[in-house]
């Protein structure tokens, strides 16, 4: 039986003898001298202020090195999972690659392709004509609707829904709504990660597209025909309305909202809880607020707002002085 990660790794403030820890944030430097960890990964620039008992491994980026180590360990753990557990349903037309794991109660529909090394955990659902790329992980209870395509080395977390109908309804003359069929799909390219309970709607026509390297947090709503660019990161509780195109290397904070049919330029940074109602066409722009405006301008506005009570007091004083001057002039 493999050793649990809990026994191998520890936080620097809690690690015990025999465990490996890391130090990247200077706020935790004090624990470098009190931890019981046997091995600590630190940045090359780390200077010691007193002796320590642990073995230090110096690297250019301690946080990235530790993350890489955890990733390698997790890959080893996952490689040990293979085979098809029962009860589960795998349609006769499905194509299952080598070293695939399919957990109990998973459903694999008609003409599904599950590529080599993929892991489909219990209670996952893959609809008809779905393609799952090499080494992709579909976690428990995740749903991938029919005709959707998932690339290689993708991670889809528990409860995520890929390919549900877009929110398309045409108003009728009697005030009711007629559903517009959503006949497109979702394409998720390589090395994407999708958080728990995130929903990505299928396109009305064409594809909703999540490009390579994008990272989507938990509880996101990505509407029909949206495009999310390469290496873009979106934090939890954000909603992106239909047909909005988000560029590459964009960072969007939690609880932000983006209106539909917008263009968001490469490298844009959108602060948490911002409401974006207009396209952002200049690359590497930072915005905040509702409606979202340039970050620096917003900070200046907030500074003015904080000073309003003092400004009001000065205005009142000036009004009094003006009245006194008027009285003296009249005399």
Active site amino acids: 224
What is the DSSP secondary structure assignment for residue 52, as one 8-state letter? Answer: -
**For the chain, how are helix, strand and coil distributed in percent, rounded to 5?**
20, 30, 55
Nearest to 152 by CA among 100, 103, 212: 212
CA distance 316 to 308: 12
Contacts of 225 (CB under 8 A, 6+ apart): 166, 184, 203, 204, 205, 206, 207, 208, 242, 243
Q: Tokens standing for 308? A: 């309003």
Structure tokens that stand for 303 in this block: 């500074």
Q: Cβ(230)–Cβ(191) under 8 Å?
A: no
Convert 46-79 to b/e letters by CB count within 10 Å (16 or more is b): beeeeeeebeeeebeebeebbeebeeeeeeeebe
Distance CA(94)–CA(112), nearest Å, equals 5
Distance CA 296, CA 60 (A): 32
Which residues are within 8 A (CB) of 111 and not within 5 positions of it... i.e. 6 or more apart? 91, 93, 94, 95, 128, 129
The C-alpha atoms of residue 139 and residue 74 are separated, in whole angstroms, by 14
């Amino acid at each position: 039986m493999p050793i649990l990660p809990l026994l191998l790794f520890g936080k620097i403030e809690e690690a015990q003898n025999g465990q490996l820890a890391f130090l990247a944030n200077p706020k935790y430097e004090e624990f470098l001298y009190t931890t019981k960890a046997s091995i600590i990964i630190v940045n090359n620039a780390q200077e010691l202020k007193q002796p320590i008992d642990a073995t230090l491994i110096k690297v250019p980026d301690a946080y990235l090195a530790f993350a890489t180590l955890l990733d390698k360990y997790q890959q080893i753990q996952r490689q040990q999972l293979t085979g098809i557990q029962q009860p589960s349903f795998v349609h006769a037309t499905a194509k299952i690659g080598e070293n695939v794991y399919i957990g109990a109660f998973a459903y694999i529909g008609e003409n599904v392709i599950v590529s080599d090394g993929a892991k489909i955990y219990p209670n996952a659902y893959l609809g008809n004509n779905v393609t799952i790329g090499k080494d992709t992980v579909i976690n428990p209870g995740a749903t991938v609707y029919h005709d959707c395509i998932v690339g290689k080395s993708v991670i889809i977390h528990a409860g995520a829904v890929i390919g549900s109908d877009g929110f398309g309804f045409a108003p009728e003359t009697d005030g009711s709504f007629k559903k517009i069929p959503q006949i497109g799909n979702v394409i998720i390219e390589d090395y994407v990660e999708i958080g728990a309970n995130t929903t990505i709607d299928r396109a009305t026509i064409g594809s909703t597209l999540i490009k390579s390297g994008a990272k989507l947090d938990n509880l996101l709503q990505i509407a029909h025909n949206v495009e999310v660019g390469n290496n873009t990161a979106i934090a939890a509780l954000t909603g992106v309305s239909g047909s909005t195109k988000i560029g590459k290397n964009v960072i969007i904070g939690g609880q932000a909202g983006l209106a539909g049919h917008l263009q968001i330029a490469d490298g844009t940074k959108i602060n948490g809880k911002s409401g974006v109602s207009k396209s952002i066409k200049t690359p590497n722009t930072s915005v905040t607020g509702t409606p979202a405006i340039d970050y620096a301008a917003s900070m200046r506005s907030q500074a003015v707002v904080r000073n309003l009570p003092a400004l009001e007091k000065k205005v009142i004083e000036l009004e009094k002085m003006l009245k006194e001057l008027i009285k003296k002039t009249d005399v």
